[in-house]
Structure 1
Amino acid sequence: MPAQMNDQSRAPSSNAWLKSYYFLRFAVSAAWVALAFTVAKNSPPLAAVMLVAYPVWDALANYIDAKRTGGLSRNKSQLLNFIVSIVTAIAVAIALGRGMNTVLSVYGVWAVFSGAFQLLTAVRRWKTNGAQWAMILSGAQSALAGLFFVKMAGGTEAIGIANVAPYAAFGAFYFLVSAVWLSVSDVLRKPRQVAR
């Protein structure tokens, strides 16, 4: 019985952190998208900084999140996501000197790997936190978007930060859905706990 009570008390605490984390990731991604569609699309220097900063933020977010549950060494999918995002930020900085098509290719490869690792993290979390279906969908869609980016990068149309923004917008949407869904799940769970 004590072990069961500990599990029940730990889950709401864990969900509280996860909700805050998802809301934070939504807010940052939404702000990034807003800047990309407005100021940055007409300011190449700002766009360059933002394109490097986005994977850096993803790496930092994965590190902060993993730290709450034992660190990167205990969360392999987030460790791999952290590494891939750092490598991507460096690759984007280099690719900026070769053109936006190359940058989009780098983003495409990153989206495939990052999406796969996000999906794995969500599947692992389902047992402890539940309500991870949106993160699973987000990971799968990220991987598909990555393949689309690579294909688009090989084309002849002009590429800019606005081409990347929809990808970030979908990410923001899924983080918001996940945060709201966890909130609803917690509200629905409380009457059951009181009944027990």
Structure 2
Amino acid sequence: MPDLQTLRYGLRGAVTKWFEKPAVSLLVALRISPDMATVIGMLIALVAAYYVSQGDFVLGGILVLAGAVFDLLDGGIARATNSVSKRGALTDSVFDRISELALLIGLGMYFTSGADADETAVLLAFAAVGGSLMVSYVRARAEGLGAKGTAGFLTRPERIVVTVIGLVLGYPMAVLWILGIGTPLSAAWRFVDAWRAIETD
């Protein structure tokens, strides 16, 4: 039975072949640069966060998906136009974190007041924020020490899928439960895997 990593890369390959390459070709023809795609994706995510904070989960979920599409394509545009750069990679990573944090803050804000106020939901939003940051931090730190740091589950693509499906179906609490519990566990798994891979002095 294929492991999670194999399934992930297989799915990624299918997305690249049937969607990413044609979409990248279109955006390149429209003269959309990698940085422009990154910024557009983040701006859409910020708008999505606003609608989620107001309880418009369906529209918010659709916007999250739209923003994720641009986030998916910016690297492809950079490779297609031979404009891959360290600055672009940095911008992409930072803007990804801003987009995700904004959305989780929007979800948390929705549950802070009114008839739907729920302390558990707010705590889960905080846990999801912390877990999301730690998943990225452990990878960055592990790679700086010579380890891959890519183990775990609920990486950004999986988190986007969970978020979009949960919001569009009208189950924001399900999104928070999955992310609030899953992302810290994923960060812990990644840490243990990287810790084992790092050679002792």
Measured against the shorter chain, the TM-score band is 0.3 to 0.5
Q: Which structure shows the bigger proportion of residues in helix conformation?
A: 1
Q: TM-score, normalised by structure 1?
A: 0.42
